Amino acid sequence: MVNFTEIIKTFIKSVARSRVSLMGAVLATITFPILLVAAVLDIMRIVENPYFGFIIYMVLGPLFTVSLLLVFLGIFFFKGKEEVGIFTYDSLKELFTAPNRFAQVRKIVFLITGLTLLNLFILGLISYTGYHYTESIGFCGQLCHTVMAPEYTTYKNSPHSRVRCVECHIGQGAQWFVKSKISGIRQIFAVAFKTYSRPIQTPVHGLRPARETCEECHRPELFHGDKLYIKDKFMPDEKNTHLQTVLLLKVGSGGYRGSNANGIHWHVAPENSITYTHTDTAREKISEVSLSKPDGTRVIFTKEAETTSGSSGKVRTMDCIDCHNRPTHIYLSPDEALDLKLAHGDIPVSLPYIKKIALELITKPYASQEEARNSIATEIRARYRRDYPLLVNNNMPLLGQAISGIQAAYTENVFPEMKIEWNTYRNFLGHKNDSGCFRCHDESHSTKAGETISMDCDTCHIILAENEKAPKVLETLRGRGL
């Protein structure tokens, strides 16, 4: 039988003979306990910090692996002075034929097998938890703090704040996993050397087709019915007059239980396939739209103005992202941001002219969010103390609330450090600035026969009220006054 202490002795001797092995062994002895304790703390979720995960899985893990490699490399290849033996045929022959040498070799082989199994287990554990770490929201959204702050902030405030970044950006399957890791390594270099672009470019090239990611959770072909869309607005007058727009959005479906595809999600019905050619990177200038119908016919709409712009353009198959390009990184316009805060009561509507003043303050240029916060606070205090001293003195908290609401409207949408101003990122869901749906639905893309893609207001929604004070239709629907 093999003598265990003998084996250990031989191993220690071999290690001691090689400087490389010794270095490896020292490194392994230092990293191992730290790594083990850290990994346990992480797995038990006792410490939850993205930098902690980074140190365990991106620094300690690889260091430990390297140290083990050094130990083994040293034993075999870089021995001490007397035996600097790269494997030559002679030395190999001697190792395996001379009886006393072979006994030694056998011991080392046993030990190495044992140690390798143990190491494989530890490395397996670390790569498994490490893999989960690189898929975590902390890794994607918080590690490179300044770079991802805009995406992370908007994500946190969106309906998808509980969906992990990787579920939209990578999805299932090995091919996209590998792609994302390769691009991830490039991104780490970009952050290290600050070569990333500010703002981060959109659209994301190489984003997995949305049909494979979004449809893990949503199935528009099964949507049905319309959606009541209510938008609150506040005027820049003394009373911050509250107006509402009410639409019935024809959300539609890709064909629900035998009924035909209809409404807005008609585009993603299994039987329709729409491709389009765009002549710019932002996909805003669309020169041709091609619709393949279930019966095999193709309808092609072209827009002369865009075809003559020189570039031949890129072809893309329309999917969810061509409308929902901001499902989670939603940046609002200054008006929208303030209207939302006023509607939710984060900014008190009772302060005279608050909408007007706030709009003026948040649209000024600032060098950083910090500067914006300070400037907003000082300005609001100064102006209201000057113009409405009575109101302010009797109700101090009101001003504080207004300040934090206005600051939030700014810091949730503008990130000077990443050069993200108001309206840096376009939202295609709708037709703001004649973009979004109106990139195609503009009555200027036409077939040879002269048919166009409809811009008729009733195609997509019925306008029930537009900028009305207490719209009658809401009263009717809710069965009571507002």
Residues of this chain, 400-419, that bind ligand HEC according to CB under 6 A: none
With CB under 6 A as the contact rule, which of the stretches 72-80, 123-131, 338-346, 437-445 interacts with ligand HEC?
437-445
**In this chain, which of 267, 285, 355, 373 binds ligand HEC, going by CB under 6 A?**
267
Question: Is position 135 an interface residue for ligand HEC (rule: CB under 6 A)?
Answer: no
The Cα–Cα gap between 278 and 312 comes to: 8
Name the minimum Å distance from CB 153 to ligand HEC.
Answer: 9
Question: Is position 473 an interface residue for ligand HEC (rule: CB under 6 A)?
Answer: no
Name the minimum Å distance from CB 344 to ligand HEC.
Answer: 15
CA atoms within 13 A on the CB side of 358: 35
**In this chain, which of 227, 242, 356, 381 binds ligand HEC, going by CB under 6 A?**
227
Residue in 73, 68, 62, 60 with CA at minimum distance from that of residue 25: 68
Name the minimum Å distance from CB 175 to ligand HEC.
Answer: 18
Interface with ligand HEC: number of residues (CB under 6 A): 77
Question: Is position 235 an interface residue for ligand HEC (rule: CB under 6 A)?
Answer: no
The amino acid at 51: Y
Q: What angle do CA 43, 44, 47 make, to 5 degrees?
A: 90
| Identity of the residue, 74 or 436, whose beta carbon is nearer to ligand HEC in the bound complex | 436
Question: Is position 372 an interface residue for ligand HEC (rule: CB under 6 A)?
Answer: no
Name the minimum Å distance from CB 356 to ligand HEC.
Answer: 19
Q: In what order do the strands lie in the sheet with 461-468?
A: 227-234, 242-249, 461-468
With CB under 6 A as the contact rule, which of the stretches 3-11, 17-25, 361-369, 426-434 interacts with ligand HEC?
426-434
Question: Is position 303 an interface residue for ligand HEC (rule: CB under 6 A)?
Answer: no
Name the minimum Å distance from CB 17 to ligand HEC.
Answer: 49
**In this chain, which of 40, 59, 118, 204 binds ligand HEC, going by CB under 6 A?**
204
**In this chain, which of 30, 66, 249, 473 binds ligand HEC, going by CB under 6 A?**
249
| Identity of the residue, 129 or 447, whose beta carbon is nearer to ligand HEC in the bound complex | 447
* C-alpha to C-alpha distances, 187 to 71, 180, 181, 425, 464, nearest whole angstrom: 32, 10, 10, 21, 47
With CB under 6 A as the contact rule, which of the stretches 124-132, 285-293, 389-397, 473-481 interacts with ligand HEC?
285-293
Name the minimum Å distance from CB 431 to ligand HEC.
Answer: 5
| Identity of the residue, 65 or 447, whose beta carbon is nearer to ligand HEC in the bound complex | 447
Largest Cα separation within the chain, whole Å, is 102
Question: Is position 208 an interface residue for ligand HEC (rule: CB under 6 A)?
Answer: no
| Identity of the residue, 272 or 401, whose beta carbon is nearer to ligand HEC in the bound complex | 272
The Cα–Cα gap between 246 and 252 comes to: 18
Q: In what order do the strands lie in the sheet with 273-278?
A: 298-302, 286-292, 273-278, 314-317
Q: Are 410 and 372 in contact (CB under 8 A)?
A: yes
With CB under 6 A as the contact rule, which of the stretches 102-110, 262-270, 307-315, 470-478 interacts with ligand HEC?
262-270
Question: Is position 266 an interface residue for ligand HEC (rule: CB under 6 A)?
Answer: yes
With CB under 6 A as the contact rule, which of the stretches 22-30, 44-52, 58-66, 242-250 interacts with ligand HEC?
242-250
Chain position carrying tokens 């409405």 = 388
**In this chain, which of 91, 459, 476, 482 binds ligand HEC, going by CB under 6 A?**
459
| Identity of the residue, 85 or 138, whose beta carbon is nearer to ligand HEC in the bound complex | 138
The Cα–Cα gap between 475 and 470 comes to: 8
With CB under 6 A as the contact rule, which of the stretches 33-41, 43-51, 266-274, 306-314 interacts with ligand HEC?
266-274
The Cα–Cα gap between 482 and 121 comes to: 64
Q: Are 332 and 232 in contact (CB under 8 A)?
A: no
With CB under 6 A as the contact rule, which of the stretches 37-45, 75-83, 377-385, 452-460 interacts with ligand HEC?
452-460
DSSP string, 208-238: PPHHHHGGGT--GGG--S-EEEEEEEE-SST
Between residue 318 and residue 357, which ones bind ligand HEC under the rule CB under 6 A?
318-325, 327-329
**In this chain, which of 135, 215, 232, 280 binds ligand HEC, going by CB under 6 A?**
215
DSSP string, 243-262: EEEEEEE---BS--TTSPPB
Question: Is position 439 an interface residue for ligand HEC (rule: CB under 6 A)?
Answer: yes
Between residue 143 and residue 182, which ones bind ligand HEC under the rule CB under 6 A?
148, 151-152, 155, 159-160, 163, 165, 167-169
Residues 6+ apart with CB under 8 A from 320: 210, 211, 214, 215, 220, 268, 327
Q: What angle do CA 180, 182, 184 make, to 5 degrees?
A: 65
For residue 80, the 8-state DSSP code is -
The Cα–Cα gap between 135 and 479 comes to: 48
